[in-house]
Amino acid sequence: MIAVIGRPNVGKSTLVNELVGAKVSITAASPNTTRRAVRGVLTDGDVQLVFVDTPGLHRPRTPLGHRLNQAARHAAGDVDALVAVVEATQVLGPGDRTTLETLVREAAGAPDLHPVVVVSKVDRARRGTVADQLLAVSRVVEEIADAQRAAAVGARVDYFATSARTGAGVDGLRTHLRDRMPDSPFLFPPEEVSDVPASEWVAELVREQVARRTREELPHAVHCRVIELTDRRASVEIVVERPSQRAIVIGHRGQMLRAIGTAARQELPEGMFLELRVVVEPDWQRRDDALDRFGY
Ligand SMILES: Nc1nc2c(ncn2[C@@H]2O[C@H](COP(=O)(O)OP(=O)(O)O)[C@@H](O)[C@H]2O)c(=O)[nH]1
Ligand SMILES: [Mg+2]
């Protein structure tokens, strides 16, 4: 088991998809796209790597945000390797520091854990920038390890630079992790690539398209759920918080909703009918009863 953590938007889900070699987690340019710990499974011969993609660690502003942080922290515990992701071209900020603190703390508490730092999106950076970022992040790790009185942990951390877009560095990272997995029975059937049930996946694909086509607060305000699913037909409800958001998701003469449906359908089995509806559930992100019902 390998958990991948980091602040929102550093490219965790894109990296997990690339490591698994299949799309198991949705991605978008807006933060907080990943809403639960998603397990992506790669079975190769007698080795099985289970990558746990997590929601981004951030300063929560809503009860939903709190639950997403909790899910990420929970997923970081009790794994064989922990991968902390920071971006190549962004100055390390408080969210990165929190992530690295989590990495060091978990590693200090578990002598068998393999801590890894990944500098991501190197396709966007010059070579010198990547080297500088590797140096900067290793200094922060050592500083944190010293502060936690766990200096030896600093020396256990391995560093990688990757691009999930070009694939650079991803094979090296995968091999590194593969070589460090403990003996264990398979945790998933070898033919399975993720733990996301088919019904949830259809809703995720729809939410991905909404997140990619809307901006500001809207991607956060959307929850998708499957109302009906058969071999030939899926009916998905897009839940928003306000009537004004409903109007945006539907768009002028329904154009936006049609575009969302067309794009999501491309990733569904050939010939499958997808029906979308937009409903308002006032302020659901801040209501515990709604969050419970939606399974967060
Ligand atoms: N250029 C570039 N963009 C990337 C890379 N990995 C992710 N992205 C983009 O960064 C944004 C956030 O990615 P995502 O995987 O959803 O980040 P997460 O929030 O950490 O899971 C998306 O727009 C991705 O397309 C990469 O290696 N190179
Ligand atoms: Mg994600």
Rounded to an integer, what distance in angstroms lies between the CA atom of residue 174 and that of residue 163? 13
Q: Which of 5, 7, 9, 86 for a ligand 1 pocket mutation test, highest count of atoms within 8 Å of Cβ?
A: 9
Ligand 1 site, residue 17, Cβ cutoff 6 A = no
Q: Give the Cα separation of 205 and 287 in Å (integer).
A: 24
Cβ atoms 75, 83 nearer than 8 A: no
Q: In what helix (H) or strand (E) does residue 144 lie, and over which residues does it extend?
A: helix 127-147
Q: Which of 36, 32, 3, 8 is nearest to 19 (CA)?
A: 3
Nearest alpha-carbon partner for 203 in 219, 221, 225, 185: 225
**How far separated are the first and last CA of the chain, in Å rounded?**
22
User: pLDDT digit of tens for each residue in the chain (296 aa)?
Assistant: 999 999 999 999 999 999 999 999 999 999 999 999 999 999 999 999 999 999 999 999 999 999 999 999 999 999 999 999 999 999 999 999 999 999 999 999 999 999 999 999 999 999 999 999 999 999 999 999 999 999 999 999 999 999 999 999 999 999 999 999 999 999 999 999 999 999 899 999 999 999 999 999 999 999 999 999 999 999 999 999 999 999 999 999 999 999 999 999 999 999 999 999 999 999 999 999 999 999 99
CA of 211, nearest ligand number:
1
Strand-strand pairing, 233-240 and 273-280: parallel
Distance between Cα 41 and ligand 2 center (Å): 16
From the CB of 166, is ligand 1 less than 6 Å away? no
Which atom of ligand 1 approaches the CA of 163 most closely?
27
Alpha carbon of 34 to ligand 2 centroid (Å): 4
Residue nearest to atom 28 of ligand 1 (CA): 121
Helix (H, G, I), strand (E, B) or coil at 293: helix
Integer CA distances (angstroms), 133 to 72, 165, 216, 281, in order:
24, 19, 29, 43
Residue closest via CA to ligand 1's atom 13 equals: 11
Q: Please tell me the distance between residue 85's alpha carbon and the centre of ligand 2 in angstroms.
A: 11
Q: For each of the domains in the chain, give its residue range(s) and CATH number, in order of start.
A: 2-178 (3.40.50.300), 198-294 (3.30.300.20)
Short-list 244, 228, 219, 238, CA closest to 277: 238
Q: Where are the beta strands (DSSP E) in the chain?
A: 2-5, 38-44, 47-53, 81-87, 114-120, 158-161, 223-229, 233-240, 273-280
Please give the distance, rounded to the nearest whole angstrom, from the Cα atom of residue 120 to the centre of ligand 1.
Answer: 9
β-partners of residue 39 are 52
C-alpha 1 to ligand 2 mean position (Å): 18
Say whether 243 sits in a helix, a strand or coil: helix
- In the three-class reduction of DSSP (H, G, I as helix; E, B as strand; rest coil), residue 162 is classed as coil
